[in-house]
């Protein structure tokens, strides 16, 4: 193997060509934040994301992801940070990372393979693996160890120049590369903007996220009806949420404001979603992050947003939703009809009550009718 510095220079240059905006190298060692992860899981803050608890032992050391790992290249890949489009009635917001309309895994994985290939070319007997949030790896802890930034009060990695609008990715190697100094300082100070702005109070304390209350979790990972007490807080977010990033002072002037107008998904027409069959939904969203939630999850979210907007124009879509094959969609549509109200909503709910057989949906219908009669 040649000396480490030329190899790292080659890797850095390749990473820049591939579009990564931050690059650092950390040792593959047990991370100091691991006990905090265990406490977070034990507190129930992971919601129904059981994969954390099921793999919690694997998070202790990066060698569970790559046997013999000695070094980890931490990388940041920026996503859209443009100003948001004003929302009009009948439209739903989508988190910035979705705006490109492309699944970020499909974008980033080939770039990581290029870096792995450089390492393997340098040392054919070595091993390398690229990871984008699909392995039991504490990426934010590693990025901090590699000098990329600090952990903000909203639990996201923050960088003075880049803010937080970026994906984190890692390349693990069993080669010993020179390490970058850890980012030791915290630049949040007394600021509480992210904590105070969260409409569902998802931060029990600074630096701790209760995922079961987080809008991103509720609209993406949560597979069941959204808890009643949190539905109003969803606001107009159809998929994901950027609130705790939008209010962060470090995101006021991010270094990169990329946009993808040709495939932009910054907002979506909610009523049109109710017209899509499973196959039509698949054709439109199969290669986008929205596919993770599938049609029934997205329509559940769309119904909640229409209910929060309380516009009569949303009634036709919700009445269609009340007849959807998915109980999850029917229940959310019933709640939304109760929020909007009016004779048309009342008639649709009364008619549905006579034919509905799902006890959970019937409960939603009864709740909606009681809302109308208040």
Give the residue numbers annotated as catalytic, written as ranges: 133
Nearest partner of 231 among 317, 315, 334, 345, judged by Cα: 334
All residues at 6 or more sequence positions from 288 whose CB lies less than 8 Å from its CB, including other chains: 98, 101, 102, 103, 265
What six digits make up the tokens of 315?
């009634």
Is residue 209 within 8 A of residue 203, CB to CB? The reply is yes
Q: Starting from the edge strand earliest in sequence, which strands make up the sheet with 267-269, in order?
A: 237-239, 91-94, 267-269
Spatial separation of the C-alpha atoms in residues 210 and 198, rounded to whole Å: 11
The β-bridge partners of 93 are 237, 267
Judged by DSSP in three states, 48 sits in coil
Phi, psi of 342, deg, nearest 5: 100, 165
Q: Please name the residue that has the structure tokens 């036709």.
A: 316
Is residue 158 within 8 A of residue 72, CB to CB? The reply is no
- For the chain, list the strands marked E by DSSP: 22-27, 71-78, 91-94, 128-131, 150-151, 157-158, 166-173, 237-239, 267-269
Spatial separation of the C-alpha atoms in residues 243 and 296, rounded to whole Å: 24
Is residue 115 within 8 A of residue 157, CB to CB? The reply is no
Q: How far from the centroid of its chain's Cα atoms is residue 356's Cα?
A: 34
Spatial separation of the C-alpha atoms in residues 214 and 174, rounded to whole Å: 37
H or E segment at 13? helix 4-17
> Radius of gyration of the chain from Cα atoms?
23
What six digits make up the tokens of 16?
């820049």
Pairing of strands 237-239, 91-94: parallel
């Amino acid at each position: 193997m040649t000396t480490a510095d030329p190899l790292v220079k080659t890797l850095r240059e390749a990473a820049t060509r591939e579009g990564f905006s931050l690059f650092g190298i950390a040792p593959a060692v047990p991370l100091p934040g691991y006990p905090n992860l265990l406490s977070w899981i034990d507190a129930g803050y992971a919601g129904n994301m059981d994969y954390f608890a099921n793999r919690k032992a694997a998070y202790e050391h990066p060698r569970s992801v790559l046997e013999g790992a000695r070094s980890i290249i931490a990388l940041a890949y920026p996503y859209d940070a443009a100003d948001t489009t004003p929302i009009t009635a009948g439209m739903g917001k989508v988190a910035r990372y979705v705006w490109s309309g492309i699944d970020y895994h499909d974008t980033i994985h080939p770039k990581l393979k290029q870096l792995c290939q450089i390492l393997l070319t340098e040392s054919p007997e070595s091993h390398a693996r690229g990871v984008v949030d699909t392995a039991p790896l504490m990426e934010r802890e590693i990025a901090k160890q590699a000098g990329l930034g600090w952990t903000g009060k909203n639990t996201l990695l923050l960088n003075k120049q880049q803010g937080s609008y970026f994906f984190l990715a890692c390349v693990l190697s069993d080669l010993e590369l020179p390490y970058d100094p850890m980012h030791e300082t915290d630049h949040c100070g007394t600021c509480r903007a992210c904590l105070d702005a969260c409409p569902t109070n998802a931060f029990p304390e600074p630096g701790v996220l209760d995922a079961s209350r987080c809008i991103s979790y509720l609209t993406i990972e949560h597979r069941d009806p959204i808890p009643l007490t949190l539905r109003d807080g969803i606001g107009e977010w159809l998929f994901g949420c950027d609130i705790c990033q939008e209010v962060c002072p470090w995101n006021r002037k991010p270094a990169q404001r990329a946009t993808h107008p040709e495939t932009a998904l910054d907002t979506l027409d909610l009523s049109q979603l109710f017209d899509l069959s499973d196959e039509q939904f698949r054709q439109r969203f199969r290669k986008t992050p929205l596919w993770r939630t599938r049609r029934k999850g997205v329509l559940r979210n769309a119904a909640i947003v229409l209910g929060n907007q309380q516009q009569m124009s949303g009634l036709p879509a919700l009445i269609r939703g009340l007849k959807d094959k998915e109980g999850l969609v029917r229940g959310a549509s019933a709640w939304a009809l109760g929020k909007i109200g009016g004779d048309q909503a009342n008639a649709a709910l009364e008619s549905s009550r006579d034919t509905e057989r799902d006890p959970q949906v019937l409960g939603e219908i009864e709740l909606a009718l009681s809302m109308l009669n208040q």
